[in-house]
A and B are shown apart, each in its own frame.
Chain A
Amino acid sequence: KAGVTQTPRYLIKTRGQQVTLSCSPISGHRSVSWYQQTPGQGLQFLFEYFSETQRNKGNFPGRFSGRQFSNSRSEMNVSTLELGDSALYLCASSTSRGTGLTDTQYFGPGTRLTVL
């Protein structure tokens, strides 16, 4: 079974631009979560989508948004990029059959975003 894929793997943008990152989950997985990883803040939860609905959201400004399609693929968008948005963005998928406590999240390779 193919793993979680993320595109693009690397991205360079300038301040003020917007960016869209894509994530394809493992086949059969309906939950997709996004995380931001930076040296200063570590790994932080952005949001989770399940069956095309946002089920959970982290503490990030409204510039960060996402969506999920009927095939469970997900995109996240960051508008009006700031230098501090430079990070590794990780997507994870899970089956999410239950409460989430035991649902192992499997991660993709990440998209490394650099904002100049």
Chain B
Amino acid sequence: AQKITQTQPGMFVQEKEAVTLDCTYDTSDPSYGLFWYKQPSSGEMIFLIYQGSYDQQNATEGRYSLNFQKARKSANLVISASQLGDSAMYFCAMTERKAAGNKLTFGGGTRVLVKP
């Protein structure tokens, strides 16, 4: 089974509008971390936001917020007030405590295109 599932391969969003990117995950480990990364066409992965499995509050970082629904195993990224520079691939990723050290497992990604 896929550990990280991103069901939206691509989407358009109007500039200045909000967009929600879906991410569901599968793990039996009670301790895990969830990350979102942005990958522009240049290729570099840019860290956006982190949510820990024991965090009570939804994470926020500027225009990025994470809608964490633990029981549903979902960690959707919300980008508010979209900008043209937000056009990129977005990846949801997870680390699990049972995997020693750092190992990110990525979803397939969602391509976002912001229209002026």
A residues with CB within 8 A of B: 31, 33, 35, 42-45, 48, 50, 55-56, 58, 88, 90, 92, 94, 96, 99-110, 112
> In which size bucket is the chain B interface?
20 to 34
Tell which of B37, B43, B100, B107 has the most Cβ of chain A within 10 Å.
Answer: B43
Enumerate chain A residues within 8 angstroms of B46, measured Cβ to Cβ.
107
B residues with CB within 8 A of A: 31-33, 35, 37, 42-47, 50, 52-53, 91, 93, 95-97, 99-109
Enumerate chain B residues within 8 angstroms of A43, measured Cβ to Cβ.
91, 93, 104, 106, 109
Query: When the two chains form their complex, are residues B45 and A92 in contact, meaning their CB atoms are under 8 A apart?
Result: yes
Query: When the two chains form their complex, are residues A107 and B45 in contact, meaning their CB atoms are under 8 A apart?
Result: yes
Query: When the two chains form their complex, are residues A33 and B33 in contact, meaning their CB atoms are under 8 A apart?
Result: no
Tell which of B32, B35, B37, B104 has the most Cβ of chain A within 10 Å.
Answer: B104
Given contacts A45-B105, A48-B102, A56-B102, are A102 and B47 in contact (CB under 8 A)? no
C-alpha spacing A56/B64, complex, angstroms: 30
Partner of B102, one of A94, A109, A110: A94
Tell which of B43, B52, B102, B105 has the most Cβ of chain A within 10 Å.
Answer: B102
C-alpha spacing A106/B53, complex, angstroms: 20
Give the distance to chain A from B80, nearest Cβ to Cβ, in Å: 22
Q: Return the chain B residue nearest A96 by Cβ.
A: B102
Enumerate chain A residues within 8 angstroms of B95, measured Cβ to Cβ.
100-101, 103
Partner of B50, one of A31, A44, A104: A104
Give the distance to chain B from A109, nearest Cβ to Cβ, in Å: 5
Known: A44-B106, A112-B43. 18 other contacts (CB 8 A): A33-B103, A48-B103, A50-B102, A90-B45, A94-B102, A100-B95, A100-B99, A100-B100, A101-B32, A101-B52, A101-B53, A101-B97, A102-B52, A103-B95, A103-B102, A105-B35, A107-B45, A107-B46
